Amino acid sequence: MSDTPNPVSLQDLRREIDAIDEQVHTLLMRRGDIIDRLIRVKQTQEVGSAFRPAREADMMRRLVSRHHGILPLDTVESIWRVIISTFTYVQAPFSVHADLSSGENTMRDSARFHFGFTVPFVAHFNAGAAVEAVAQSRGDLALVSATASQTPWWSALEQPGAPKIIARLPFVERADHPAAMPVFVISRVATGALVTEVETWSLHISGWSPVAARALSPISDVLAVADASSGTAAFLVSAAPSDGIEKIISALTDAGASVRASALVGGHATRYRVPTPGTAGP
């Protein structure tokens, strides 16, 4: 008499899948019930988006750290982004205003990957228009390229009460990311929403030169708009939250440049990089 177990049938496996699908749906509905209770507790804030980038960045890091198996990380990340963004939208409806000047297709891909299709998408032809739309809204978000610009749009973030940079997407960076273009998220800031693991500063500089550029490049990520004819420049720079901006100003001064004005215009979580196989961890 053979004690070999009977092979699992295709029908049995499909029943297991159906049971898991039902559990997933049930858990999503339970999450919705909790969000409904959360709305009543929070009494929907008057100013600022319900978007909480520090919490979301932490969630995505933990997701990547525990993930394994044949399901692609892209799929897992996109599913979670849609779940998080949709429930955030349910708490306090908002729109995403996207600057398409850096590439319409890539910006749309980024917006849809991170916020799904439930959140309304509003296209703008430049960063300034996207930021202005957010400034006039209750809790909308703007998406602006973090690596390219023709104008210093971030000057509009300098004044008290103006929108601020609250996140940098994607939260999880890797070489093959389907929405890899670095994007800043800008919003009117609610209490507790501003993340300053990395600060972002607006600098207006005179005496800009190649020497100043070389002095700045090792200590900061820079998005610059320079007027070579007059030697002036406007920068959006990243800095450590302790003394990073002081080091940047000191380096520029030592290089013969003069910082005419500086203003904190936001911040974001530390960039989390997923290593390629055979390399060190993030």
* pLDDT tens digits, 30-75: 998 988 888 777 765 544 567 888 888 888 889 888 999 999 888 9
Out of 3.40.640.10, 2.20.28.120, 3.30.70.100, 3.10.580.10, the CATH code matching 199-267 is 3.30.70.100
Between the CA of residue 203 and those of 33, 217, 231, what are the distances in Å?
A: 46, 15, 14
d(Cα 89, Cα 83) in Å, to the nearest integer?
Answer: 10
- Stretch (H or E) spanning 88: helix 73-91
CA distances from 98 to 107, 120, 163 (A): 7, 11, 15
Res 177: pLDDT: 87
Name the segment(s) of the chain with CATH classification 3.40.190: 45-193+268-273
**Cα gap 192→209, rounded to integer Å:** 38
- pLDDT, tens digit, 9 for 90 and up, residues 85-120: 998 898 888 999 999 988 889 999 999 999 999 999
Give 144-159 as a 3 state SS string: EECCCCCCCHHHHHCC
CATH code: domain 45-193+268-273 is 3.40.190
Amino acid at 168: R
pLDDT band at 168 (very low <50, low <70, confident <90, very high): very high
Please name every residue paired with 225 in a beta bridge, in sequence order, or none if there are none: 234
| pLDDT higher than threshold 50 for residue 278 | no
- Which regions of the chain carry the CATH code 3.30.70.100? 199-267
Residue 31: in which H helix or E strand, if any?
Answer: helix 10-42
In this structure, what token pair is assigned to residue 267? 């911040």
Confidence class for position 158, pLDDT limits 50, 70, 90: very high
Residue 15: the pLDDT is 92
Consecutive H or E run containing 47:
none
